[in-house]
Amino acid sequence: MRAPQKITLSTTEIELGGQRHTVTLRQNPRARRLSLRFDVAGQGFTLTIPPRFPLPRALEFLDAHRGWMLTSLARPAAQQAAQRVPFVPGAEIPIRGEACVIRHDSNGSRQPRHEGRTLWVGGPADRVPLRVKTWLHGEAARQLSYAAEAYAFQLGKSVISVTVRDTKSRWGSCTAKGSLNFSWRLIFAPPSVLDYVAAHEAAHLVELNHSARFWALVARLHPDPDAAQHWLKTYGTGLHRYG
């Protein structure tokens, strides 16, 4: 009888949203690829590592998935344990689905500057939260306008106006006159999710309903609407805890 293969456990720590979180490193001889899992009940992460896989590369994989880890912590089932994340220096927020740290430089430009995984903000420290929110609001408006107008063009339609607000019950809406409204918090979501909401509302310019014809238009505009819908149902509520 073959002896059972040994699974080795160790831990590391990673900072998410200004808090330190322990990640269990599970070296499993039967694993064929890296896999990262989140335990909602225990609020913990486990990274499973295949045999002979270099640990430094595994840690790079972990670091590259900080955005996913942030949104996992923000799942509806984890809301009671999750704290709000204010827009203050040192806070970590997702921008377009990627983890980003807010940094303050009193001598820097007062216009926020997004560089890699850092959002730089200058001027007085007490003005940082407002400057960050204003910048995020503007970025959401710019990117949603661009996406919505591009999708409308594909359908031979025109967008009358695009407005972004802090809506609670829906991510987007379309009026009978062709005005589109979106939640500015979509700037926290991955690009494919933001694009899906833009495509969804653009499709309403043709079909102001949710008929089969409407969903056919959405599928024509967006490569994977089902995945985007699933992401919003799983992680969307958590986007409201930022700011």
Mean pLDDT computed over every residue of the chain: 88
Give Cβ neighbours of residue 143 (< 8 Å, ≥ 6 apart): 187, 194
- Tokens 């407005």 — which residue? 163
Provide the pLDDT confidence category of residue 89 given band limits of 50, 70 and 90.
very high
Query: What is the per-residue pLDDT for 37?
Result: 87
Distance CA 11, CA 24 (A): 4
- Report the percentage of the chain scoring pLDDT > 70: 91
Q: Give 141 or 243, the one with higher predicted confidence.
A: 141
Nearest to residue 117, comparing CAs of 45, 67, 185?
67
- Report yes or no on whether pTM surpasses 0.75: no
C-beta separation of 94 from 100 below 8 A: yes
Residue 78 has pLDDT above 60, yes or no: no
Provide the pLDDT confidence category of residue 104 given band limits of 50, 70 and 90.
very high
- Tokens 């102001």 — which residue? 208
- Tokens linked to 180: 């589109």
Q: Give 66 or 141, the one with higher predicted confidence.
A: 141
**List of domains in the chain:** 8-64 (no CATH), 92-131 (no CATH), 137-241 (3.30.2010.10)
Provide the pLDDT confidence category of residue 106 given band limits of 50, 70 and 90.
confident
